[in-house]
Amino acid sequence: DELLRNADMAMYHAKEEGKNNFQFFMPAMNKQAHNRLLLENKLRNAIEQNHFQLFYQPQMDLKTGDIIGTEALIRWFDPEQGMISPAEFIPLAEDTGLIGQIGDWVIKTACGEMKILQDKGFPKVKVAINVSAFQFRHGKHLARVISQSLVDSEYSAELLALELTESVLIDDIKETLGILNAMRGMGITLAIDDFGTGYSSLSYLKQFPIDILKIDQSFIRDITTDMSDKAIVSAIIAMAKQLEIDVLAEGVETLEHQAFLQSQGCDYVQGYLYCRPIPADELFSRWQNKELTTG
Ligand code: C2E
Ligand code: CA
Ligand code: CA
């Protein structure tokens, strides 16, 4: 029994490392698996107790300097541990399928909170929601939750955007295309997240109805000094323009980043230079104080 258990654990690690790979079992794997199980139980509990909150990060138009949208980013506040980063628990939530319940909550909450803000006078800009491959594999459920959330919150589909990673698009092309076309038909905006880091098959850009490419922040970081990053970003922007897809650069932290993106004709930007992700009420007061501009 122990041999099988350990072999299974080693296989799990090999899978995590990618395909065509092997791993020998090491006792440390036991500890990792144990920690994972602890976190999974904690996550189940957090879902029951609703220990989550959405933060919002503005997305800005580089030409007008105005806010054009906000991205909803989940935060987990654990009573003992404090804030746990989504980078830590979203991958686990995806592996275990718990992202289904979490994702439903995110959609409902984002529509509800943005509707409240807009009723108070906040500009009618889009809210972008991160949707994982698991949610797309349950496309009918996803479509139902989105429709129901829009109805319940009286929020308009035209003001909703979904951010998908490239992994969503390679799953089952025919099925995915059907779901995406249905969403598009409802008036929902579709964005590709982390563009350039995934499967680098450009064919999906013409197959799928995509409105926005989000250039991954790893390309933006050294954009002023690294010649390859410069070339990649310029090329993505030029290609998107030809395909009539808008481009948003993530992780914009400095005025130098902004200046380069502006010179290349990038449409939209998002990053700490403008605003960190913050709760809805804080977003509202920042806007009231006229603090949400590109300067
Ligand atoms: P992402 O979708 O690529 O989100 C952008 C991440 O970059 C966010 O991290 C954001 O806080 C961070 N960021 C924004 N501006 C800057 C900047 O100027 N510099 C730097 N260094 N970072 C910046 P966060 O909030 O920790 O989220 C991490 C990831 O977790 C997200 O990456 C997304 O993949 C996932 N995630 C977050 N919320 C959700 C959700 O509700 N559902 C799903 N499925 N995934 C989510
Ligand atoms: Ca995103
Ligand atoms: Ca991203």
What is the three-state SS of 151-211? HHHCCCHHHEEEEECHHHHCCCHHHHHHHHHHHHHHCCEEEEEEECCCCCCCHHHHHCCCC
User: Which tokens in the block code for residue 212?
Assistant: 């926005």
Please determine, for residue 23, whether its predicted confidence score (pLDDT) is greater than 80: yes
Q: Is the pLDDT score of 61 beyond 90?
A: yes
pLDDT above 70: residue 200: no
pLDDT for position 272: 98
Phi, psi of 188 (to 5 degrees): -80, 140
CA 105 – CA 72 distance, rounded (Å): 12
For ligand 1, which residues put their CB under 6 angstroms from it?
57, 73-74, 85-87, 90, 99, 103, 106, 130, 132, 193-194, 217, 250-253, 271-272, 277
Atom from ligand 1 closest to the CA of residue 272: 18
Strands (E) across the chain are located at 52-61, 67-78, 82-84, 126-131, 160-164, 189-195, 212-215, 246-249, 268-269, 278-279
Ligand 1 pocket test: pick from 56, 90, 99 the residue with the most ligand atoms within 8 Å of its Cβ.
90
Q: What is the mean pLDDT of residues 148-154?
A: 98
Distance 277 CA to ligand 3 centre (A): 13
Q: What predicted TM-score, i.e. pTM, was given to this entire model? A: 0.93
pLDDT, the chain, mean = 94
Question: Predicted confidence band at 206 (pLDDT cuts at 50, 70, 90)?
Answer: confident
User: What is the whole-number distance in angstroms between the Cα of residue 1 and the centre of ligand 2?
Assistant: 42
Please tell me the distance from the alpha carbon of residue 52 to that of residue 203, in angstroms, as a whole number.
37
Compute, in angstroms, the gap from residue 83 CA to the centroid of ligand 2.
Answer: 19
Per-residue model confidence (pLDDT) at position 176: 87
Residue 169 banded pLDDT, cuts 50, 70, 90: confident
Question: What's the 112 CA to ligand 3 centre distance in angstroms?
Answer: 23
pLDDT at 212: 97
What is the band of 264 on the pLDDT scale with cuts at 50, 70, 90? very high
Which of the listed residues 51, 52, 73 should we mutate to test ligand 1's pocket, taking the one with most ligand atoms within 8 A of CB? 73
Element (DSSP H or E) covering residue 87: helix 86-96
Tens of pLDDT, residues 91-139: 999 999 999 999 999 999 999 999 999 999 999 999 999 999 999 999 9
Q: Whose C-alpha lies nearest to ligand 1, atom 45?
A: 130
Q: Give me Rg for the CA atoms of the chain.
A: 20
- Which of 265, 263, 262, 246 is CA-nearest to residue 294? 262
Q: What's the rounded mean pLDDT across residues 168-191? A: 90
Identify the nearest ligand to the CA of 214 by its number.
3
Q: Look at the block and give the residue holding tokens 């991954």.
A: 216
Atom of ligand 1 nearest to the CA of 57: 14
Q: Per-residue pLDDT for 20 more than 90?
A: no
Please give the distance, rounded to the nearest whole angstrom, from the Cα atom of residue 219 to the centre of ligand 3: 11
> Is residue 236 within 8 Å of residue 247, measured between CB atoms?
yes
Minimum-distance ligand 1 atom for the alpha carbon of 135: 44
- Cβ proximity of 165 and 194 under 8 Å: yes
Burial 116-150 (b: 16+ CB within 10 A, else e): ebbeeebeebbbbbbbbbbbbbebeebeebbeebb
Q: How many Å apart are CA 56 and CA 59, to the nearest integer? A: 10
**Dist. CA 159 → ligand 1 center (Å):** 20
